[in-house]
Amino acid sequence: MMHHVMTAACCCLLVLGTGCQSPNGTSGSQSARLSQIEASEQAFRKMLEKEADLDWASEEVQDVVSRLLRQYAEFANGYRGDSLAPVFLMRRADLLQGKGAADAAVRQWIDVAEGFPRNALAPQAIFQVGFIRETALKDTLGALKAYSELIQVYPESHWAEQAGLAAQWLTFKEDRLGGALEEGAVRGK
């Protein structure tokens, strides 16, 4: 009798587990989250199409951006093994950057690079870290460290080539700036 109860319980769990799967192999909850993300992305896309120079401070934009930021994070945290997790985290970082939160965007790109080191997006994430440190945060040393790490860890990546060029230009500018300042100081004496 106990054997039949256990068998029935296992079958019940199997049916319930299978019933929660959508036809494409994702759970109902996962499909619902993906649908919500898609709806929010469409709303944001419409805003971008309507206005090329989006007013990030408007309440409507803030609502959609906040919703997307939350949805991307919830999906990535809930479905860490899904191939869309790093994609959504990259989009989240892009939104943070667009919103003016450069430090938060850098942290998010670092999370992608460290959390998904074998993913094709990892080199791009590290490049973005270097680029934002260089341009938005004016952190030359931090940018050079990111570019150097990218070149060392992903030497065959297209992004490594771009990082090498960026680092070369960045160090060239720094060297030239230092020489120009010294030259100006000598002339000024």
**Residue 163, pLDDT score:** 97
For the chain, the structural domain boundaries read 29-188
What CATH fold (topology level) applies to the domain 29-188?
1.25.40
**Residue 186, pLDDT score:** 55
CA dist., res. 117 & res. 29, Å (int)? 27
**Residue 14, pLDDT score:** 30
Q: Provide the token pair at 73.
A: 């994070």
CA dist., res. 110 & res. 105, Å (int)? 9
CA dist., res. 26 & res. 153, Å (int)? 33
Report yes or no: 125 and 90 within 8 Å, Cβ to Cβ: yes
CA torsion sign for 59, 61, 65, 71 is positive
Question: In b/e form, how buried is each residue of 160-171, taking b as 16+ CB within 10 angstroms?
Answer: bebbeebbeebe
Q: Residue 25, Cα to own-chain centre: how many angstroms?
A: 25
- Per-residue pLDDT tens, the chain, 189 aa: give them: 433 333 333 333 232 232 333 334 456 799 999 999 999 999 999 999 988 788 889 999 999 999 999 999 999 999 999 999 999 999 999 999 999 999 999 999 999 999 999 999 999 999 999 999 999 999 999 999 999 999 999 999 999 999 999 998 888 655 565 665 666 555 555
CA angle 56, 57, 61 (to 5 degrees): 55
CA distances from residue 50 to 43, 44, 53, 69 in whole angstroms, order as listed: 11, 10, 9, 21
Q: Provide the token pair at 138.
A: 């004016």
Backbone phi, then psi, for 27, in 5-degree steps?
A: -70, 160
